[in-house]
Every structure is written in structure tokens, then in C-alpha cells.
Structure 1
């Protein structure tokens, strides 16, 4: 009897061939993942937190934030759990840019040495991190392009050049929406669209009729809500006009005010700025609204956005009235419960329609769509792509080592 197994097919890829020969294990080669982010972990809970918390099930994750300016010079390492650590550089006020980069490079090198990080994935949200990471040698570089940062107010002038450099270095590029994918797909051979996903169970709690939060409970009805960062992307003139046109509607805004003067925000007895809320609190607020808003300005900073709040509102059972943001229109704008409006008059008319009939005929289709776009599935699809690239890298390393020893 022959000891050879019958051949039933040829492996389709080099990594499959290597696996069949026992040269590559099913476990990814890298043990650590270092993320370089322009956002803070304890800021609005969004894409980076959803993805990197799930990544910590497969890697030891180091999430590096933008520096904090204070009177000390050190790298704070703040554990979230055994597999996830937040890195916060502290820089003295008045430190020039070159010194900042030198210090951050030094701290990064010390971190790699101290924690024996030798085989890792580098995950970038901001290309500007290349200023102090050009020298590191990750097993794999991933660029998760969640926004067109160069279009944001106050963007560094060298950001576009740094992004070109990052696109050359990265093996995988993820985009935060379809529009951003269209803008980047010809700039790199492996670009993948991963639009905003949803924690359906979390926001679905809002449909159960949760208790009204204390700072909202005294407000009259109907309530028209917005949740998110209040910055240059929000059309504050539109918001002010709506509040004037409909003094009988209460407009509730949750979120931090960033990069704009709070004094520039419209004021009125039916405008309520309740500040940033914890992610865990949001379903209770949503549960006591009647309509949710996406009142974005149409400018360069909103050209490629894919608002995370759209699926969150919908999972909470809220009809949505949105500016004609391209990704909202293409994904949800075919029928209610999503209304697309341009200008105060259309917004007023659409809100009134949503209050009268919150799109009951289309909820079944929307719920089915939301069920297919969980953060868990998004991370699984990303991780599969990462693992494939890690296996390719390991095969390449094995081939190089074999060539040297032969």
C-alpha cells in the first residue's frame, strides 16, 4: 500500500501551498499590534475603539494617542486589560517639533525593548506618525483611513506627502466608507472598503423604552437629536434656522465641541447642548428621541465621511433626517426611515414627515441590512486579510532563509 495520500487539488495560493507542506502554522506570525492614532481612546467611542478592542483578542495591542502638553516629559502606559494598553506621550509646553519627534522616537524604541516587541503589526490612523516611526520594521503595515484628514480644519500642510509615503509602505489599506474607497482605490494595489458598522445589540436596547436620562427628562416633546463631535462638519447655521422655524421642537445635541468656538453655536430655548456622553449611556438618550439628525455641512471635510451615527440611530429605531452626504444617500437613502434633505425648508418638511410616519414600511429592510454590518464581522474580515498578509510575509522569510542555507 502506498504511503502517499491521493492528490485532490492544487493549493490556490503560495500560503496555502506552504501550509500544506507544514511550513506555515495557522497562527499569525505577529504577536503585537501598535496603533498610531490621532484620536484619544477616551474620546467619542467609534471606529478605532470598536476595531482595536476586538484586535486585542488576537494581538497584544498598544494604542498610541496624540501627545499631551503638560509640565512633564514621559510616556504614560495605561493598561485597559491584559491585552490592551493606551500610550500617552507627555511633552513639556514650548517643545519644538524636531525635539518632539526625537523624544517620541526614543520612547517608542524603549517600549519595543522593554516589552520585547520584535514581531508586530503597525496600524496607522494618522500618516503624521511617520515623523517618528520611519525607522521601525513591522512585520506588516496597515493604514486604516477612516477620514480624509487633509480636508479637516487645522490639518498639517505635510499630511498629504506623509500619506503618499504611508501608502507606499502599507500592505493593506482600509477605508471608512465607500466614497473614501473610490478616492483611494487607484493609489494602492490592496484597498478595501469597510464602512461604519454597528453594535446592533447595544443600540437596539433603545427600542425597549429605556428610562429618560436626568438632564433630558424635563425637556418637552417632540425631541430631535444629534450625537457626535460638534465641529466644522456640522452645519450650525442650518441648526439655528431649524430651531427658529420650529420653536415647538426640542433640539438635543450630545457630544464635545471641537475646533470651533462654542460661542459660535446657535442658542435658543429649544436648543440643548448636553455635552459628551459615555458610549454606554447613548441608548437611553436615543430611546427618548423621536427623530435623529445628521445636519452636516456640504464641504471638503464632509466629502468622504461615512457617519457612524447613521446605523446607530437606525438600530435604536430612530428615523433619520440627513444632509445629502454621499455615503448616507447611497447606503440608506432609497426610502424611509432615512430622509435626505438639503436646506432648512427641506429639513423641516422631512422632520415633520418622520414624526408623522417614521418609515414603518422600510424598517424590515433596514434591520436586515444592519444585521449584515456588525463590528464583529468587520473585524473578522479585516483580520482574515491581515492573517493572509502575515502568512505571505512568513513564507517570504522562510524562502529567504532556505536560500541562504542551501
Structure 2
């Protein structure tokens, strides 16, 4: 069924919504995501782009600011098999009202959810199979709605299959569902290994004083800004480069030191070029409820780029990469780890550790294994 579902199944039509079908298309899967396709390229993009090799997929984002004078939504054509819908509706439940305008089949073979905020669509759109890919414990995030926990409970009861992005999440979710599978975040090793080759370093980072300790990713409540500030003051001769967009925090909250540099959002294709400029890669996350279950994609991306890594003691990092990553808690330990990585780290040993880790995983393998599980349980 899943190997070539789009070609194997025929479109279904009904008289009630036939007026929409001139522009609507048949989709094998509809994906609902709180993470936008054209934002930071991460787990949803990696997995869904690979699923779209054999299934036609509509990737639906949360609504943009509503404008009743505009069309019901904006379609972005990624390729023939993958389209992104940016709904122009008042709220998430209203997405159901515009689905027939874009989707010709009444019955959707697969509904794939990245967030429980879309839970109401389970009652208004007919999915033959429901998949929940749990990437974070969103209910623990700052300003998370109180009802998000109950929404997730409902999504779990309706799901046929649950995937989790880490072992900690798996241990929690398996208590509530019998078909839970752990698929930790993986890596496109070929892409990030470009940092080891002769690619150019971007002009806007070449002026930074070496050594450069860098971060690539979203800059939000999960970054320990106080820790970053303290270590920057302790090591004024080290440049700290922050590559990524601000989310949920303002520029006023960012630490300001001459040796801390913010570059904003950069394209996925540009990241190996920036990583090439790093002497050390860092993951300065706070250790609290908001990071209790995260499995940072960037850990393996840093490894593929061959950078020494310093991280705070995030559960998934400690469990899976404690040997390969320098783990720290304080600014003093951070400073010592930087000096160690620059002066004493055995690069050959590090590269061997990275090799053994990276050979066990890839996004291609992850997507293939997910497809196999879905094929087993699909109705």
C-alpha cells in the first residue's frame, strides 16, 4: 500500500463538495505541523520529504494572521509529490472547512500529526490511519496552553502509531499506547560533511576573531543566555557565533558582549559553510522542563561536520553521546572545556567516536523503517 499508494489508489468524489474539485488534488497523506516548512530545516522536513518519494503529501502549517479579504490559503509547491498549505483561516478548527478546496479525496489514507494543537481535525477530517510523530513535550514549553496536555491525550487515543524523537519521550508515551516506536533524530551526513571539504566560509563570519565557538539553531527560551553571557565575559578572546532566528524572545533579552555575534536565520544549504568556520560547536541549553525531552538534531550535524562539541547536560545528549561530547554545567566548566577542546582534545579519537555513531543512523534509514512500520499497521 505505502510503496506506491498514490498510483495504486483512485480519486474519490462526492456531489456535496464537487465544486471544489476543479483545483483540488488527491493526497495520500496530510501532515499537520506547528513547525513551518520554510523555517529552520529539521525533523519534519527531513522525514516528510523522504515520505514524499512514494506518497503525495500535503503539509499543513498553523494558520497565518487571518485576512478575510485574501484567499483561503497559500499553496507552496515543493515538488510534484509535496505541497505546503499555509491556511488563511481564523483558527485551527477552521482548517477543516478549506481542506476540500485543496484535497479531492474524502477519505485520507494517512493523517500525520506533529502537534496536538490540531486535535480537533481528527473529528472533522476522515483519516484512515493516524500517525503522531512526537518531537517534544510541548506542554512543558513556556506559555504552553494548559489544555495542550488533554489535546495530546485525545490525539494519542486516536493514533494508530506513535513515533518519538528520543528515548525519554518513548518511555513516557509507551505508557499510553501499545504501538510506540523510538526514532531519535538523525542526520544527513553527506550534507554536513561538506564542512570538512573545500567549501567557502561565508564573508559575514570571516571577520570574527579565532577561535570561534558556534551554535546553529533556533534561539529561544531553551538557550541558557546567562551561561552564554558568563562564559563570553570569562573568555573575551573567544568569538561566540549564534546562527539562527529568535523565537519567542526579543533582542532585548540577548546578552550583549563584543565577542557575542548574532547572525539570524541562515538557509539549510548554508549551514556547512558556517560550521566550517567554527573551531568548536556548542549546545548551551538550559536544563529544565522545556529541555527535559529534547533530542537535539544538531548533535549529529556537528559530528558530521567534524567539530568538537560542548553541551550542557541534556538527558538525550548524556544518554546517547556522553562519551563524544564535553558535558558542562557552569561557565567555569564551559571555559575549561573550550580550552581542552582547543589544546588537548585527541582529534583522531574524536573522529573515531563520531564515525561509530554516525554509521548507525541516517534520515534515509529512519524514513525507511517508519514506512515499514506504517505498512504493517495501515488499514
TM-score for both structures, normalised by structure 1: 0.85
Q: CA deviation at 1:27?
A: 5.4
Q: For residues 49 and 102 of structure 1, do their structure 2 counterparts lie closer, same or farther at Cα, with a shift above 3 Å needed? A: closer
Q: CA deviation at 1:362?
A: 3.3
Q: For residues 101 and 236 of structure 1, do their structure 2 counterparts lie closer, same or farther at Cα, with a shift above 3 Å needed? A: closer
The answer for the alignment partner of 1:340 in structure 2 is 327
**Which structure 2 segments of 5+ residues have no match?**
10-26
Give the number of aligned pairs.
Answer: 357
Q: 2:93, 2:118 within 8 Å by CA — same for their partners in 1?
A: no
The answer for the alignment partner of 1:108 in structure 2 is 99
Q: 1:45, 1:279 within 8 Å by CA — same for their partners in 2?
A: yes
Q: CA deviation at 1:158?
A: 1.2
C-alpha separation in 1, matches of 2:36 and 2:344: 39
Partner of 1:268, secondary structure, is coil
Matched, 1:365 2:353: yes
Q: CA deviation at 1:70?
A: 4.5
Q: CA deviation at 1:196?
A: 1.0
Partner of 2:162, secondary structure, is strand
Q: 1:207, 1:287 within 8 Å by CA — same for their partners in 2?
A: yes
C-alpha separation in 2, matches of 1:149 and 1:214: 37
Matched, 1:328 2:317: yes
Q: 1:228, 1:255 within 8 Å by CA — same for their partners in 2?
A: yes
Partner of residue 35 from structure 1, selected from 28, 31, 34: 31
1:293-351 C-alpha deviation (Å, 9 max, x unpaired): 000001110000000000000100000000001110111112x4x10001111111111
Q: For residues 25 and 236 of structure 1, do their structure 2 counterparts lie closer, same or farther at Cα, with a shift above 3 Å needed? A: closer
**Which structure 1 segments of 5+ residues have no match?**
1-23, 394-406
Partner of 2:241, secondary structure, is strand
Q: 2:92, 2:118 within 8 Å by CA — same for their partners in 1?
A: no
Q: CA deviation at 1:152?
A: 1.1
Q: For residues 349 and 194 of structure 1, do their structure 2 counterparts lie closer, same or farther at Cα, with a shift above 3 Å needed? A: same
C-alpha separation in 1, matches of 2:352 and 2:115: 38
The answer for the alignment partner of 1:150 in structure 2 is 139
Partner of 2:127, secondary structure, is coil
Matched, 1:184 2:173: yes
Q: 2:63, 2:86 within 8 Å by CA — same for their partners in 1?
A: yes
Q: For residues 269 and 209 of structure 1, do their structure 2 counterparts lie closer, same or farther at Cα, with a shift above 3 Å needed? A: farther
Give RMSD over aligned pairs: 1.7
Partner of 2:186, secondary structure, is coil
C-alpha separation in 1, matches of 2:44 and 2:145: 21
The answer for the alignment partner of 2:63 in structure 1 is 67
Q: Which runs of 4+ in 1 moved over 4 A?
A: 24-31
C-alpha separation in 2, matches of 1:315 and 1:214: 23
The answer for the alignment partner of 2:45 in structure 1 is 49
The answer for the alignment partner of 2:362 in structure 1 is 374
C-alpha separation in 1, matches of 2:55 and 2:93: 27
C-alpha separation in 1, matches of 2:211 and 2:153: 48
Matched, 1:294 2:283: yes
The answer for the alignment partner of 1:172 in structure 2 is 161
C-alpha separation in 2, matches of 1:290 and 1:231: 23
Q: 1:127, 1:159 within 8 Å by CA — same for their partners in 2?
A: yes
Q: CA deviation at 1:138?
A: 1.4
Q: CA deviation at 1:73?
A: 5.2
Partner of 1:267, secondary structure, is coil
Aligned runs of 1:85-234 on 2, under 5 Å? 85-91=83-89, 95=90, 100-101=91-92, 103-112=94-103, 115-116=104-105, 118-234=107-223
Query: Which deviates the most, 367-376 or 193-202?
Result: 367-376
